Structure 1
Amino acid sequence: KPGEGRSEEQYNYAIWFSRRSQNSKSVQYDKNLKFIASFASVEQFWNIYSYIVRPGDMSGHVDYHLFKEGIRPMWEDDANKHGGKWIIRLKKGLASRCWENLIMAMLGEQFMVGEEICGAVISIRYQVRDLILSVKFLQLQWLNLSNYVPNFTDQLSYLGL
């Protein structure tokens, strides 16, 4: 629980990590999924985040997942079964900054459809970095994200996306 002087969030969150193994066909996705930590405040998040490798410094086929506590970052989880996702393809070099901005928007409840957000993923591939926002209902993926995140279009332009 957050201590005195800490800002408690509406939701508790969990951070997960996954790395695709070399023989990924024989290993199930959930076997590669590793729980890192959970937190209930921005201060706790930064305390945890300060000890993990930033997405921009990673290579290979890896993902960080930040989901509301109790929701596993898998389509098979009940909260995700009817869900969809927004995907933003990032230019190389922007992964860490965009990931941190998305996390701060989630924690700061900047999404007008915040209850519908299950979590976020930063997906690192050899030449590609994808920022993914998972939502509970597939219909939400067709909405214009810029209508639900204040200054989203401006933020993307500023970042060169």
Structure 2
Amino acid sequence: MPEPIIQVKTFEGYPIPDDTTPTTRKTLHQNILGKLRPLPLLYHWTVWFDRYTNPADTTDPEKQYTSRQTILYEDVADIATFYRVYNNYPWNKIRLRDTVHIFRKGTKPVWEDPENRLGGCWTFRVPKPLSQQFFHELAILTIANELQAAVEGEHDHILGVSTSARFNSYLISVWNKHGSNAASIKILEETIIKRLSPELRPIQNSNSYFYKKHADREGYDEAIRAFTGSSDRASFVS
């Protein structure tokens, strides 16, 4: 599939979608947004497209990243720009294992980025019928600073949100900076569950979502070594 171009102009752990949910709330929300001046965001954000490549196809990790990752929109600075980008993205054309990331501007959506090296993410396995609404709400909670405000007291940082296509579901993740801060991780989980619409909330402590540090992922040390020349994790502290 050619790289997407943005033109700016029942599943375990989840409830069954309610086809009778009223649409008036969505319509009202859109009408209000249309009348408001663009609302500036506290942080600027970059939208990335991450094309899946088989690691066996290249022995050069740097080429693997540069060939697969494309910036779709570099500077999302207000809510109006976010919706222009979001509403024009061909979500139905995401291929299996391709990923879209929305990350703080200046932070790349890879483990090796200095902001990410000691972090981790909450990952939700969301059935396809619910996935688009789930990602939309989680993206808004992320860029509108709702999640950041929740973990501020723990001196943590919310760095981005991702959605990745799978066979009958999407893996939707929220990345944070400090993967060893148990209090922040718990607060983040509780805030996400509380702020999602009721029909999207997974059952807490179910196997439909989990937290994992990047350092516990397969291939982490090799990726870090390729970009820093060292696998000494003590040197990653920024």
Q: Is the 8 A contact 1:113 1:148 kept in 2?
A: no
Query: Which residue is 1:12 aligned to?
Result: 44
- Normalised TM-score (structure 1): 0.83
Looking at structure 1, the residues matched to 40 and 106 of structure 2 have their Cα atoms a distance apart, in angstroms, of 17
Over residues 70-103 of structure 1, what are the superposed CA-to-partner deviations in whole Å (9 max), with x where a residue is unaligned? 0000000000010011011101211111110001
Equivalent of 2:163, from 122, 125, 128? 122
Mind listing any 5+ residue stretches in structure 1 that lack a counterpart? none
Q: Is the 8 A contact 2:165 2:171 kept in 1?
A: yes
Over residues 3-57 of structure 1, what are the superposed CA-to-partner deviations in whole Å (9 max), with x where a residue is unaligned? x922110000000011213x44224234201110021001011111222112x55
Query: Which residue is 2:65 aligned to?
Result: 29
Query: Which residue is 2:90 aligned to?
Result: 53
> Is 1:113 the counterpart of 2:156 in the alignment?
no
Instruction: Give the counterpart letter for 1:113 in structure 2.
Output: V
Instruction: Give the counterpart letter for 1:91 in structure 2.
Output: P
Runs of 4+ that moved beyond 4 A = none
Comparing both structures, which one devotes a greater share of its residues to helix?
2
Instruction: Give the counterpart letter for 1:66 in structure 2.
Output: I
Q: Is the 8 A contact 1:59 1:126 kept in 2?
A: no
Query: Which residue is 1:143 aligned to?
Result: 186
Query: What is the aligned-residue identity percentage?
Result: 21
Looking at structure 1, the residues matched to 166 and 104 of structure 2 have their Cα atoms a distance apart, in angstroms, of 24
Looking at structure 1, the residues matched to 42 and 57 of structure 2 have their Cα atoms a distance apart, in angstroms, of 39
Larger Rg: 2
RMSD of aligned residue pairs (Cα, Å):
2.3
Query: Which residue is 2:175 aligned to?
Result: 134
- Normalised TM-score (structure 2): 0.58
Q: List aligned pairs for 1:55-134, cutoff 5 A.
A: 58-111=94-147, 112-113=150-151, 116-134=157-175
Q: Secondary structure at the match of 1:148?
A: helix
Looking at structure 1, the residues matched to 97 and 163 of structure 2 have their Cα atoms a distance apart, in angstroms, of 11
Instruction: Give the counterpart letter for 1:25 in structure 2.
Output: A
Q: Secondary structure at the match of 1:94?
A: helix
The CA deviation at 1:140 is 4.2
Instruction: Give the counterpart letter for 2:49 in structure 1.
Output: F
The CA deviation at 1:160 is 6.2
Over residues 51-70 of structure 1, what are the superposed CA-to-partner deviations in whole Å (9 max), with x where a residue is unaligned? 2112x553322100000000
Instruction: Give the counterpart letter for 1:125 in structure 2.
Output: R
Looking at structure 2, the residues matched to 160 and 113 of structure 1 have their Cα atoms a distance apart, in angstroms, of 20
Q: Secondary structure at the match of 1:44?
A: helix
